[in-house]
Amino acid sequence: MSKPIQNAGGRSQSHLRLWAVLGAAALMLGCAEDRAEPQSRPQPEVTTRKPNARPERPGPPTARWEMVDMLRAGRDHPPHPSDGGGRAWLEPEDGQIPSARVGEPGSFHIVYEVGPLGIAENGAIYLQVSPFWNWSTPQTEDPRRPGYTEVSTLAEGVELEARTLDKQLMGLFPKGRGLRPGERIDIRYGVGPAGASVDRYAESRSRFWIGVDGDGDGTRKVLDDSPGVDVLPAPPAQLLITIPSTAKLGDRIPVNVAILDALGNAGMAVVGDVVFDTSASGLTLPERVTLGPDSRGRARVFATITGDGVHEVSAKGPGGLEGVSNPLAVNEGPRILWGDLHGHSALSDGTGTPEEYFEYARDVAALDVVSLTDHDHWGILPLDEHPELYEQIGEATHAFHDPGSFVTLLGYEWTSWIYGHRHVLYFDEEGPLLSSLSETYETPQQLWDALRGHQALTFAHHSAGGPIPTDWSIPPDPEFEPVTEIVSTHGSSEALDSPGVIYSPVAGNFVRDVLDQGIQLGFVGSGDSHNGHPGLTHLDSPSGGLAAILSEDLTREGVLTALRNRRVYATNGPRIILRTALGPHPMGATVELEPGEKQTHDLFVRVIAPETLERIDLIRSGAVVDSIGLEDRRSVSLQTTLEELGAGDYVYVRAVQRDGGAAWSSPIFFIDKPTDEPAPGGDPPKA
């Protein structure tokens, strides 16, 4: 359901673009960072912008032209006809295709059969285990260590030299003669006593990518149908209860139940009852729901709102699991829709299929709005060379879209190594993929110009640092970029005094620095998830991200209107209810003033948090001007008076829980009222 990819100057081919770079650069990419156990993030060291090492090339000092040049070289170098030849499969065990389980070692027998053009003696076969997570690196040196791999062939006169080349990458080099069509290689990965460590995240068909350099020129092409193994979740460890954050008296609301493992993986077979605490007033709901063998640990029941106030739902599940929902506020302000507008699947550098991504967002995280934004060119099979994969994303987006219940948005990530990463969301049924590797769409201005005529928005993300910071010297086009993603799994790009600051921040490149320049941006969070857990990235990371969208209209049109009006706020994962207003002006508003005019307004703040609050911060025009400490409170209403508000001022609020969870309101901006008088020497105003 998507339009063809537009990538001027590129080729539609399936050879692997800089395969070794993917392995070597995995830690460099925030979008492919190696996930360790969740832990607190130390205060990052702030760097300053260094002079551009390549002043003859456009872009900021942080531009990575060497990355772009390598990727374009891979794009423009055609493979030999023998590259990527042959087929591969997983050999069944006891008549069944093997599976893997999170946290348990595995052993896998992969068979490769040479294609009709053969492989030259100086050619090679490559085994690339998923480079983005915790699979063991294939190795032949120590049978006692994880990832020990045995390689053999029955081809007479051929010896195979197996070498570990990089993280999760092994090369197999025929010696004595080349390999003839139909000859086979057996690869037994994880055959030692330690087996092979598998993916941390449950997914279908985690690939064992097989690449072939048939003629030995150093260019290899991946087998599009490389075999994969299903990764199953670990044992149940969490009971997640999710309810809407807002409702009105008499409403019938969904109560979502999901049983997860310790890392947030879903889909395990759980049988038994989830018993709700029905003693609390204000909600009427069933006493229990039964999880059957086909439920996959998920259920949804409905409750009726019978009383005002703030409510939660608590429950006990099989195996002694207990859970408490996020808070629900009745008859308090506009409806809050929860969205995750940025995340990845295995079609780039994430986990799982598009269908699994949307299913998790709807049935596990109970989101209202979601978009899958796989990279334009970063992945084993780049989307900009494989339009059928972008088409697959479009088809899944269309299939899961259910206006009024669950809104899906077609999207992708414009992965610029020069100007910073942005994701593009379409609010129509279709939209093209405009690759940042294309010379036609390599600048933000070119991207925005190409988007004109589409119902689309762009979002700068991890903009203060992380994988690559945003070039804020190019002002965001207000037609396409009214808001920015200030927090995700990479941390916060709001300001240096923010909780959970992003790693590798660049001084002067925070979003607050951008606001100080007079640029108006609202705030959203999103997960930038790679673990297949949209909406719940924070369960397995020091930080996550959600977009709170203030709209009564759960449609693409309603979401777009709220984003354009900056009627949104950000959290780093928890569903914190945050209300702000400055006199008559709502969150995200722009207040126009007469020349020299100053105004005084009362600021109203209301916060209801899932966990104990630590403080509420008031930010005015670049500085924290007040901070109210809170003791053992999860909800608070505050009011203060702000005087002498003039053009150039902006005001927003930050609420911080003791556990580091946080929410940021979109700012309210004060500007000079536009005048119809022409500037000196300028043209007269148009009629």
Q: Which of 448-460 are b and which e, b meaning 16 or more Cβ less than 10 Å from the residue's Cβ?
A: bebbeebebbbbb
Q: Measure CA of the first residue to CA of the last residue in the chain; give whole Å.
A: 42
Q: What are phi and psi of 180, to 5 degrees?
A: -95, 160
User: Residue ranges of the alpha helices (H) in 363-460?
Assistant: 387-400, 444-451
**Is residue 12 scored above 80 in pLDDT?**
no
3-state secondary structure of 417: coil
Instruction: Tell me the CB-side half-sphere exposure of residue 412, using CA atoms within 13 A.
Output: 32
> Please, is 561 exposed, middle or buried when counting C-beta atoms within 10 Å of its C-beta (0-12, 13-18, 19+)?
middle
d(CA 97, CA 157): 31
Q: Using alpha carbons, list the distances in angstroms from residue 75 to 88, 225, 608.
A: 24, 20, 50
pLDDT in tens, 361-389: 999 999 999 999 999 999 999 999 999 99
For the cut 90, the answer to whether the pLDDT of residue 95 exceeds it is no
Q: Indicate the helix (H) or strand (E) that contains 212.
A: strand 203-213
Are the C-beta atoms of 87 and 113 separated by less than 8 Å? yes
Question: Starting at the edge strand that comes first in sequence, how are the strands of the sheet with 252-260 ordered?
Answer: 238-242, 252-260, 298-305, 283-284
Residue 559 has pLDDT above 80, yes or no: yes
Beta bridge partners of 206: 229
Is the model's pLDDT at 220 over the cut of 60? yes
Instruction: Take residue 288 and report the two structure tokens written for it.
Output: 């229990």
pLDDT in tens, 54-84: 567 999 999 999 999 999 998 998 999 999 9
DSSP-assigned beta bridge partners for residue 386: none
How far is residue 683's CA from residue 687's CA, in Å, rounded to a whole number?
A: 12
d(Cα 107, Cα 196) in Å, to the nearest integer?
Answer: 6
- With bands split at pLDDT 50, 70 and 90, how would you rate the model's confidence at 494? very high
Instruction: Reduce the secondary structure of 254-294 to three states and give it as a string.
Output: EEEEEEECCCCCCCCCCCEEEEECCCCCCEECCCEEEECCC
pLDDT for 11 beyond 90 = no
Cα→Cα distances 73→18, 78, 372, 387, 419, Å: 9, 10, 28, 20, 20
Distance, CA of 153 to CA of 82 (rounded, Å): 20
CA distances, 190 to each of 186, 203, 398, 512 (Å): 13, 19, 40, 49
Mean pLDDT, residues 185-198 taken together: 97
Tell me the CB-side half-sphere exposure of residue 557, using CA atoms within 13 A. Answer: 3
Determine the Cα–Cα distance for residues 15 and 602; give it in Å rounded to an integer.
Answer: 61
* Unique residue bearing structure tokens 């879903």: 266
**What are the structural domains of the chain?**
17-79+339-574 (3.20.20.140), 87-231 (2.60.40), 238-330 (2.60.40.10), 576-673 (2.60.40.10)
What's the CA gap between 2 and 383, in Å, rounded?
A: 12
Say what percent of the chain tops pLDDT 70: 91
Query: Phi then psi for 429, rounded to 5 degrees?
Result: -70, -30
Q: Give the model confidence (pLDDT) of 268-287 as tens digits.
A: 999 999 999 998 889 999 99
Taking 90 as the threshold, does the pLDDT of residue 38 lie above it?
no
Contact 608, 310 (CB under 8 A): yes
Backbone angles phi, psi at 540, to 5 degrees: -130, 30
Structure confidence by residue, pLDDT tens digits, 420-455 = 999 999 999 999 999 999 999 999 999 999 999 999
Q: In this structure, is the dihedral angle defined by the CA atoms of residues 167, 463, 407 and 308, taken in order, positive or negative?
A: positive
Maximum Cα–Cα distance for the chain, whole Å?
89
CA 677, 678, 684, 687 torsion-angle sign: negative
Residues 351, 339: Cα–Cα separation, whole Å: 19
Which pLDDT tens digit goes with each residue over 230-258?
A: 999 999 999 999 999 999 999 999 999 99
Distances (CA, A) of 363 to 92, 254, 313, 384, 535: 32, 11, 17, 30, 11
Residue of higher predicted confidence among 47 and 662: 662
Query: Counting Cβ atoms within 10 Å, is residue 680 exposed (0-12), middle (13-18) or buried (19+)?
Result: exposed
> Taking the CB of residue 27, how many other CB atoms lie within 10 A of it?
11
Q: Distance between CA atoms of 86 and 558, rounded to whole angstroms?
A: 50
Token pair recorded at residue 74:
């891979």
- Residue 453's contacts (CB-CB under 8 Å, 6 or more residues apart) are none
| Mean pLDDT score, 531-549 | 97
305-to-248, 330, 686 alpha-carbon distances in Å: 7, 8, 54
Report the amino acid identity of residue 306: T
Average pLDDT over residues 595-617: 98
Dihedral angle at the C-alpha atoms of 216, 217, 219, 225, nearest 10 degrees? Answer: -30
pTM confidence score: 0.93
- Hey, which bits of 355-406 come out as E strands? 369-372
The pair of three-digit structure tokens given for residue 619, joined into one six-digit string = 């930010």
Dihedral pair phi/psi, residue 179, rounded to 5°? -100, 135
What pLDDT is recorded for position 84? 97
DSSP state, 119? B
Report d(CA 513, CA 486) in Å as an integer: 12
Q: Checking phi first, is residue 81 left (phi over 0); if not, alpha (psi -120 to 50) or beta?
A: alpha
Identify which of 611, 602, 532, 531 has the alpha carbon closest to the alpha carbon of residue 571.
Answer: 611
632 pLDDT more than 80: yes
Q: What average pLDDT does this structure show over 639-645?
A: 98
What's the CA gap between 277 and 285, in Å, rounded?
9
* Average predicted confidence (pLDDT) for the chain: 92
pLDDT bin (cut points 50, 70, 90) of residue 97 is: confident
